[in-house]
Structure 1
Amino acid sequence: MASPIPAQFVPQNILLIKLRHHGDMLLTTPVINALRQRYPQANIDVLLYKETRPMLEAHPAIRQLHIIDRNWKKEGGWQKFRHEMALISAVRACRYDVVINLADQWRSAIITGLSGAPVRIGFAFAKRDNAFWRWCHNQQVPTTDHHSLHTVEQNMSALLPLGISADGAKASMHFSEPDRQKVQQLLSEAHINGPFVVLQPTSRWVFKCWEDEKMAQLIDALAAGGHTLVLTAAPDPHEMAMIRHIQSLCRSPNVISLAGQLSLPQLAALIDAAQLFIGVDSAPMHMAAALDTPCLALFGPTKLQHWRPWGDNNRVIWAGDYAPLPAPDSIDTKTDRRYLSAIPVEDVLAAARSLLHD
Structure 2
Amino acid sequence: MKTLIIGPSWVGDMMMSQSLYRTLKQLDPNNEIDVMAPAWSRALLNKMPEVNQALEMPIGHGEFAFIKRRQIGRSLIANHYDHAIVLPNSFKSALIPFFAKIPKRTGWKGELRYGLLNDIRKLDKSAFPLMVERYVALAYPRDQIHSAKDLPQPLLWPKLNVKQKEIDEALTSFTIPQDEPLIGFCPGAEFGPAKRWPDYHYATLADMLVKQNARIIIFGSAKDREVGDQIIAQMVHSDKCINLAGQTKLEQAVGIIAACKAIVTNDSGLMHVAAALDRPVVALYGPSSPEFTPPLSDKAEVIRLITGYHRVRKGDAEQGYHQSLIDIKPDRVFETLMNLIMRSKKSNG
SS of equivalent to 2:5: strand
Contact 1:208 1:338 in 2 (8 A): yes
Alignment of 1:173-192 (within 5 A): 173-175=160-162, 179-186=166-173, 189-192=175-178
Alignment of 1:49-64 (within 5 A): 49-64=38-53
Q: Which runs of 5+ in 1 are unaligned?
A: 1-11
What is the CA distance between 1:357 and its match in structure 2?
Answer: 2.3
Q: What is the aligned partner in structure 1 of residue 23 from structure 2?
A: 34
| Counterparts of 1:146 and 1:19, CA distance in 2 | 22
The one-letter code matched in structure 2 to 1:309 is: P
Contact 1:156 1:166 in 2 (8 A): no
Q: What is the aligned partner in structure 1 of residue 320 from structure 2?
A: 337
Q: What is the aligned partner in structure 2 of residue 158 from structure 1?
A: 138
2:269 to 279, 283, 291: 283
Q: TM-score, normalised by structure 2?
A: 0.85
- Is 1:354 aligned to 2:332, yes or no? no
| Counterparts of 2:225 and 2:280, CA distance in 1 | 25
Decide which moves more: 293-302 or 263-272. Answer: 263-272
With over 3 angstroms needed to count, the CA separation of the structure-2 counterparts of 1:83 and 1:260, relative to structure 1, is: same
| Counterparts of 2:26 and 2:127, CA distance in 1 | 27
What is the CA distance between 1:255 and its match in structure 2?
Answer: 2.3
The one-letter code matched in structure 1 to 2:293 is: W
Q: What is the aligned partner in structure 1 of residue 196 from structure 2?
A: 209
Q: Which runs of 5+ in 2 are unaligned?
A: 146-150, 344-349
Q: TM-score, normalised by structure 1?
A: 0.83
Alignment of 1:131-150 (within 5 A): 133-146=113-126, 149-150=129-130
| Counterparts of 1:142 and 1:43, CA distance in 2 | 27
What is the CA distance between 1:338 and its match in structure 2?
Answer: 1.2
RMSD, matched Cα:
2.7
| Counterparts of 2:125 and 2:177, CA distance in 1 | 50
Alignment of 1:1-358 (within 5 A): 12-71=1-60, 80=65, 82-125=67-110, 128=112, 133-146=113-126, 149-161=129-141, 165-168=151-154, 169-175=156-162, 179-186=166-173, 189-204=175-190, 205-236=192-223, 239-252=224-237, 253-320=239-306, 327-331=309-313, 337-339=320-322, 340-357=325-342
Contact 1:175 1:266 in 2 (8 A): no
The one-letter code matched in structure 2 to 1:254 is: K
What is the CA distance between 1:50 and its match in structure 2?
Answer: 3.0
Q: Which protein has the bigger helix share? A: 1
| Counterparts of 2:31 and 2:57, CA distance in 1 | 23
What is the CA distance between 1:332 and its match in structure 2?
Answer: 5.5
Query: Percent identity over the alignment?
Result: 22
What is the CA distance between 1:223 and its match in structure 2?
Answer: 1.1
The one-letter code matched in structure 2 to 1:242 is: V
